[in-house]
Amino acid sequence: MKQIHFKHILLCLALLTTIKVFGQAKKTYDVAAYLYPAYVADDPRLRPFWPMGMGEWETVLTMQQRNPGHYWNRHPLWGYINEADPAVMEMEIEQATLHGVNVFIFDWYWFDERPFMETTLTNGFLKARNRDKMRFYLMWANHDVGNHWDTRIGNLDPQNIIWRGGVSREAFEKLCHRNIEMFFSQPNYYKIDGKPVFMIYEVNTFIEGLGGVQQATDALKWFRKEVKKAGYPDLELQFTMWDSQFNHSGFDAAKTERPRDKFIRELGFNSMSHYQFAHYINVNDDYAPILNRAYEEWEKLDKEFTIPYYPHVSIGWDNSPRTGKSAVTRENTPERFEQALRKAKAYLDARPDLQPLITINSWNEWTETSYLQPDDIFGYGYLDAIKHVFVDK
């Protein structure tokens, strides 16, 4: 019998350790950044709000003109880009995936019986030559629209409603069929276990539009059946969690207060996440205590609800470009943002059966000061933070 030497044992142990390390390195995380599709040129339906023809970049560009000497004075390193241009989107996809962002969650709108602000997705993203590098899904931003987008009249009548976010059953069926055919069918549409993911922003508004809880439940059951008819195993319906006690968004209308687990399940939702820290935390504070409250909330939601919670990290909050004054998240440096990402990663690692999905606000919410895109303050700092956590190892 051949003698086994101590050095052979050490070699085997080293090999097993290497296999273990490589196995961990192969785990991928779905780092999903919300994308606000208002930074476009030549979309005629945006002109009433931003007449310069550059979408909400106008709000960023004119901030100092409207508020001379205001502390908010930022500029994008990539310039005032048109995200509905496929060449621009190709650059963004390249930079996003290079830094570890591999999913875009498009804020998607339906007003006046038709889609609104959709050109970033249809003209930009879906026509980008490298779109296969990035997956995407839709978050139906079904809030009311008032004067807040137009800085010329934003403070005149805050209660004025231009479009209602709620829809009738007929309109809901129309938009669902369109999304199934036009977007769910895309090869890079984000799915969980083969189920296309669709997120609803304001559930209260959805219920009111349909006429009540039972009508909303029936509509979502119908939606699920239609998705199955289209050949998918099911629908992954995602709930946007809120707590109106700490809503600092400044304009969203029908906030969804934190519901009970039974209510969410009976409506038909399969999972949940947040859109912004401002929707459930007092964000007029330093970033460190804000993060501590966020971590506590993650654990509470995990214990209180039977459907999965996917951890959410916001970069900050300050919607002064729209309003001139705002609650402000302070000391939200890229280094602290990186700490939050590591905490979100640890949350998922402790739950290996959970889809490894993290939501981030956001790719480009400039007028709310919560964006990953590089600027003249932190450069590529926020993107590099994601890269440090999810790519470099």
Query: Is 69 contained in some domain?
Result: yes
- Could you tell me if residue 259 is inside a domain? yes
Q: Are strands 191-192 and 195-200 parallel, antiparallel or unpaired?
A: antiparallel
Residue 269 is part of a domain; what is its CATH number?
3.20.20.80
* Alpha helix ranges (H) inside the chain: 6-26, 57-61, 63-66, 86-98, 119, 169-179, 203-210, 213-229, 261-267, 287-304, 320-323, 334-349, 381-390
**Residue at 6 is within a domain:** no
Cα separations in angstroms, 81 against 94, 146, 170, 200: 15, 26, 37, 28
> Do 135 and 121 touch, CB atoms closer than 8 A?
no
- For residues 48-73, average pLDDT: 96
| Whole-number pLDDT of residue 252 | 65
Do 248 and 293 touch, CB atoms closer than 8 A?
no
Average pLDDT (219-236) is 98
Q: Is the confidence at residue 249, as pLDDT, over 80?
A: no
The pair of structure tokens assigned to 300 is 């509470």
Would 10 be classed as within a structural domain? no
- Strand pairing partners for 191? 196
Q: What is the distance between the alpha carbons of residues 196 and 332, in angstroms, rounded to a whole number?
A: 33
Residue 20 has pLDDT above 80, yes or no: no
Asked whether 189 and 148 are in contact (CB, 8 A), the reply is: no
Look up residue 65 and give its two tokens.
């003109």
**Four-point Cα dihedral 4, 8, 10, 16, nearest 10:** -110
Domain count of the chain? 1
For residue 315, what pLDDT is reported?
Answer: 98
11 pLDDT exceeds 60? no
Q: How confident is the model at residue 29 (pLDDT cuts 50, 70, 90)?
A: very high
pLDDT average, residue stretch 311-337: 96
pLDDT band at 256 (very low <50, low <70, confident <90, very high): low
What do you get for the CA distance between the two ends of the chain, in Å? 42
Check residue 212 and give its pLDDT: 96
Give SS3 for 160: coil
Boundaries of domain holding 97? 30-390
Q: What is the pLDDT of residue 154?
A: 77
Q: What is the pLDDT of residue 243?
A: 83
Q: Are 253 and 165 in contact (CB under 8 A)?
A: yes
Mean pLDDT of 260-281: 95
- For all residues of the chain together, what is the average pLDDT? 91
In a domain, 372, yes or no: yes
Note whether 165 and 205 are within 8 A (CB).
Answer: yes
| pLDDT given for residue 1 in this prediction | 42
Angle between helices 213-229 and 203-210 (to 10 degrees): 100
Asked if residue 341 is part of any domain, the answer here is yes
* Banded pLDDT at 241 (limits 50, 70, 90): very high
CA distances from 138 to 51, 130, 336 (A): 27, 19, 28
Per residue in 142-198, pLDDT tens?
999 988 888 887 777 767 888 999 999 999 999 999 999 999 999 999 999 999 999
8 in any annotated domain: no
What pLDDT, on a 0 to 100 scale, did the predictor assign at position 2?
42
Mean pLDDT computed over 100-111: 98
Residue at 183 is within a domain = yes
- The pTM for the full model equals 0.92
Confidence of residue 244 (pLDDT cuts 50, 70, 90): low
Rounded to an integer, the average pLDDT of 44-59 is 95
The per-residue pLDDT for range 365-378, each reduced to its tens digit, is 999 999 999 999 99
What is 336-356 written as a DSSP string?
A: HHHHHHHHHHHHHHT-TTS--
| Percent of the chain whose pLDDT exceeds 70 | 90
Please state the φ and ψ torsions of residue 358, each to the nearest 5 degrees. -125, 130
